[in-house]
Structure 1
């Protein structure tokens, strides 16, 4: 098992190398999570050295980090295109399909990823899996009135939905959109992810899934002593 310090160092390596993808004049979608925090720190350092970009954050937490490190902010509501989006992931398969949503921000993250000419994942090697939904449950965001109905429909699809509980307050996690998060477990990894995604999105009141399918064009994966750029495996 890798130590906490070695995992932190790998995330830092990935975040710093990801900053090399950012060029002057870009509008850059900036994801959420511990690996992205290192990217934000490095971009802030480069901005002090003259880099000129606009950042489009995927969460309030990311927005606050960007402001702290001097990254100019643009509002996605006023944009229809980004040059690049960089974000972390909870699981990544060989085709660079990913699960996101551990931070309950996946609806906005998917929007910002889809707006970009290029979407790049950054992670340490522990996030690599042969099949999605094996190590990490699949998050979905549901509006509160749909909670019980959505849970029933998800069970009919073979999943076990669990309402995510908050750690530092009583009650469930509430997303920045004001909705609940259901974490779906599966006894066996789903074989047809696109079908599953479509079935879930047909449930009334289910806003978005944490499946990022066919969006990422490359990933920067940190290992103990190096960072490798990988591209989707052809199936």
Structure 2
């Protein structure tokens, strides 16, 4: 059922795509449904160029016959379509479960609009049930972990960053590592974001704040198109 819902959300988002667009193409299981749907439309005559957010997405897009470019050659995009691990009513997101959060954020912010695709299980009233990914440089991991703990403790969180992959650390496309942090509930995403970005070893984190413009969320009763709630 979950894969069916992901596919429905991805198909709905294809309605946002027009010929001539420069597209940011996301990473993850829901984004893969979008890539396959986009490939079918390209084979039917749709003319777009895509900028992938990961090597994994790039490989699938090539298989689907989608013409690709880099941000270096195509620095301004019309639309990015990507999944999310969690989204709230303001369309603040947690992303990074697939390990591509940095490239995803760079591509999304290079776009005029970002549209999220997700199944209804990703919609939450308060972010934080999904562990927050924090991308870090390999140098000084122990010191960076301590700084993350201290910064979060100052905000009232008793959290222990877990290195993804453990003794064989996960390596991102940018040759970084990821700490996953269980926070439970993130009542002030902006405060958490600012505290983490002040740490020198932190490259970025999986909170996407004020970036998403719309979301297609598929549930048992169909697909809802959401826009950020005010407040």
Q: Give the ranges of 4+ consecutive aligned residues of structure 1 lying more than 4 Å apart after TM superposition.
A: none
Deviation at 1:172, TM superposition (A): 1.0
Counterparts of 1:98 and 1:222, CA distance in 2: 16
**Do the aligned partners of 1:139 and 1:209 also contact (CA within 8 Å) in 2?**
yes
**Do the aligned partners of 2:127 and 2:187 also contact (CA within 8 Å) in 1?**
no
Deviation at 1:77, TM superposition (A): 2.2
Match of 1:42 among 19, 37, 57: 37
Counterparts of 1:79 and 1:72, CA distance in 2: 12
Match of 1:226 among 198, 203, 222: 222
Match of 1:144 in 2: 138
Match of 1:161 in 2: 161
Match of 2:114 in 1: 119
Segments of 5+ residues of structure 1 without an aligned counterpart are 1-5
Counterparts of 1:20 and 1:65, CA distance in 2: 21
Deviation at 1:161, TM superposition (A): 0.5
Q: How many residues align?
A: 225
1:177-209: CA deviation from partner (whole Å, max 9, x where unpaired): 1111000112x4232211110110110121010
Match of 2:60 in 1: 65
Segments of 5+ residues of structure 2 without an aligned counterpart are 154-158
Deviates more, 1:141-150 or 1:91-100: 141-150
User: Tell me, what secondary structure is at the counterpart of 1:220?
Assistant: strand
The question of 1:195 aligning with 2:191 is answered yes
**Do the aligned partners of 2:24 and 2:108 also contact (CA within 8 Å) in 1?**
yes
What is the root-mean-square deviation in Å for CA atoms of aligned residues? 1.1
User: Tell me, what secondary structure is at the counterpart of 2:135?
Assistant: strand
Match of 1:129 among 90, 106, 124: 124
Deviation at 1:50, TM superposition (A): 0.7
Match of 1:28 among 23, 34, 44: 23
Counterparts of 1:13 and 1:144, CA distance in 2: 38
Counterparts of 1:114 and 1:145, CA distance in 2: 27
Deviation at 1:76, TM superposition (A): 1.2
Deviation at 1:150, TM superposition (A): 1.3
Match of 1:212 in 2: 208
Deviation at 1:224, TM superposition (A): 1.6
Deviation at 1:210, TM superposition (A): 0.4
The question of 1:108 aligning with 2:106 is answered no
Counterparts of 1:57 and 1:212, CA distance in 2: 18
The question of 1:172 aligning with 2:173 is answered no
User: Tell me, what secondary structure is at the counterpart of 2:19?
Assistant: coil
User: Tell me, what secondary structure is at the counterpart of 1:85?
Assistant: strand
Deviates more, 1:143-152 or 1:211-220: 143-152
TM-score (norm 1): 0.93
